[in-house]
């Protein structure tokens, strides 16, 4: 298989993730979409590593996985904190940065 196939696939996955990120309002699903994007990037990294026959790209992919794991942990922690504070699990409702009064009443 040509490497370009893999690259094209990674582009598709990345675009799907990006689209989902914007389209969905649940922070949980948005995190999933972020995973999609990261995986798309990972795929291209591994593909390029194969292209050059060099292990560096794979290490990069590994690091991306670590970052993704961290992001998941923090993101999920935030979601749990939102839930604990009885805030809506809806990204559109969480616009307190814009409206300080709302922030005061919410927290």
- Residues between 38 and 97 with contacts to another protein, criterion CB under 8 A: 39, 42-43, 46-47, 49-56, 58-59, 61-63, 65-74, 76-81, 83-85, 89, 91-92, 94-97
**Total interface residues for another protein by CB under 8 A:** 82
Is residue 71 within 8 A of residue 8, CB to CB? The reply is no
Element housing 21 (H / E): helix 3-23
Is residue 34 within 8 A of residue 17, CB to CB? The reply is yes
Least distance in angstroms from the C-beta of 24 to another protein: 7
Least distance in angstroms from the C-beta of 45 to another protein: 9
Least distance in angstroms from the C-beta of 33 to another protein: 6
Residue 44's nearest CA partner among 106, 52, 25, 94 is 52
How many whole angstroms separate alpha carbon 34 and alpha carbon 71? 9
Residue 39's nearest CA partner among 72, 73, 76, 1 is 72
Site for another protein in 5-44 (CB under 8 A): 5-9, 11-26, 28-29, 31-33, 35-36, 39, 42-43
Least distance in angstroms from the C-beta of 27 to another protein: 8
């Amino acid at each position: 298989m040509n490497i370009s196939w893999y690259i094209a696939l990674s582009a598709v996955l990345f675009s799907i993730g990006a689209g989902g990120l914007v389209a969905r309002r649940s922070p949980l699903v948005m995190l999933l979409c972020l995973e999609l994007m990261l995986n798309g990037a990972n795929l291209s990294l591994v593909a390029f590593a194969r292209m050059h026959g060099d292990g560096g790209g794979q290490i990069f992919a590994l690091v991306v996985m670590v970052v993704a794991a961290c992001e998941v942990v923090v993101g999920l922690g935030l979601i749990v904190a939102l839930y604990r504070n009885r805030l809506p699990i809806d990204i559109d409702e969480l616009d307190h940065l814009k409206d300080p009064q709302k922030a005061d009443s919410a927290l």
